[in-house]
Amino acid sequence: MDASIYNAAVSGKVMVTPDIMIITIDTDEPRKEFEAGQHTLLGLYGFEKRSFNSEPESVPADKGKLIERPYSIVSAKSENRRFEFYISQVKSGQLTSRLFNLNSGDRVYVGTKISGIFRLDETPDGTDIVMVATGTGIAPYISFLRSHIIERPESKMVVIQGGAHHWDLGYFNELTFLEQTFANFFYVPTLINADNHWDGYRLCIEDLLKKDTLQNEFNITPDPERTRFFVSGKPDMVKHVSEWLHDFGYTRHHPDDPGEMYVEEF
C-alpha cells in the first residue's frame, strides 16, 4: 500500500509508562516559524500495525485512509524540523494505538501547517501567567517555557500540574530545574493518589485553587487585569477551573473576542 504522503521520520521515543510517550519526529522539509503552544497534525494510515497493548478499536479504522489528529508541539518555537510530542495512548483509539507502535526511523505524516490560538505571545507584557494542566495538557507549557521564560523576567509564571500518581507528572525534572533556575518561575505539582514518598500537595487542582494557594504562596491574584490563565487537559478539570475563573470576571480568549483565559481540552 502507498504511504508516499509520509513526510517525516521518528528520531526518538521515550516510553514514560506503557501508555505515555515522548516522541521526536524530524520532518523532511522545515516548517514555517510557529508560536509556542500551537499544534500540528500527525497521521498514519489505517493499514499500519497497532501497539501490542492496544485494545479493539471503538470505531475500526479504514485501512486505506490517513488517520490524522492534532498534537501540541512541546519543542521551543526556534525548532523548524525536529518536533517533540507528549502523547497518551487511548488504547481503543485509531491513531495513538498506531503511533505507539512506531520506532526510530519509521515514517509518519506531519501536517504542513502549525496553528492554534493557545499562545503565550498574545498575553500583555508584565502580566502574571498561570498555567494549569492535567495529563498531556502540560505539552504546550513546556513549549512556552522553553521559548519565552528568559524574555519575561518581569512576569511571575506558575505551572500547576495535577495527576493521580508521580508518573502522571510529565516533564517533572525539567519543571523542577526551571524552578531552581528562574526566580520568577514556580512549579506546583499536586497528586491525589501518591504514595508515602510524596511530600507535595495532595489536592485536586480545583481544590488547590479554591484554597487560595496562588495568593498565599506567590501573591498572585485571580484578577483578569493582572493575571492571565491557561487551562489545558481533561475536559472536567478544564470546565471546573473555567467556571471558577468566570466568577472572578475572566472570559475565554478568542482572537476576535480577546479574553484573559486560554483554554484547550484534550
Ligand X SMILES: Cc1cc2nc3c(=O)[nH]c(=O)nc-3n(C[C@H](O)[C@H](O)[C@H](O)COP(=O)(O)OP(=O)(O)OC[C@H]3O[C@@H](n4cnc5c(N)ncnc54)[C@H](O)[C@@H]3O)c2cc1C
Residue 22 vs 208, nearer CB to ligand X: 22
- Which bin fits 153, alpha (ψ -120 to 50), beta or left (φ > 0)? alpha
Residue 229 to residue 240: CA distance in whole angstroms = 13
Which of 10-18, 82-90, 106-114, 183-191 is the region at the interface with ligand X (rule: CB under 6 A)? 82-90
* Closest approach of ligand X to the CB of residue 57, in Å: 7
* Closest approach of ligand X to the CB of residue 58, in Å: 5
Among 40, 51, 75, 94, binds ligand X (CB under 6 A): 94
The binding track of 102-141 with respect to ligand X, each residue x by CB under 6 A or -, is ----------------------------------x--x--
| CB 263 within 8 Å of CB 232 | yes
- Residue 89 burial by CB count (10 A; 0-12/13-18/19+): exposed, middle or buried? buried
Residue 90 vs 192, nearer CB to ligand X: 90
Q: How far is CA 256 from the centre of its chain?
A: 24
| Residue 264 engages ligand X in binding (rule: CB under 6 A) | yes
Closest CA to 116 of 237, 230, 200: 230
Residue 69 vs 166, nearer CB to ligand X: 69
Among 46, 93, 162, 189, binds ligand X (CB under 6 A): 93
* Closest approach of ligand X to the CB of residue 154, in Å: 29
* Closest approach of ligand X to the CB of residue 51, in Å: 10
* Closest approach of ligand X to the CB of residue 241, in Å: 17
Residue 116 to residue 223: CA distance in whole angstroms = 25
Q: Which residues of 169-205 are buried (b: 16+ CB within 10 A; e: fewer)?
A: bbbbeebeebbeeeeebbbbbbbeebeeeeeebebbb
Q: CA-based angle 217:225:218, to the nearest 5? A: 10
Which of 83-91, 125-133, 176-184, 190-198 is the region at the interface with ligand X (rule: CB under 6 A)? 83-91
Within residues 139-198, the interface with ligand X by CB under 6 A covers: 139
* Closest approach of ligand X to the CB of residue 86, in Å: 6
The binding track of 37-56 with respect to ligand X, each residue x by CB under 6 A or -, is --x-----------------
- Footprint of ligand X (CB under 6 A): 39, 58, 69-72, 85-88, 90, 92-96, 136, 139, 264, 266
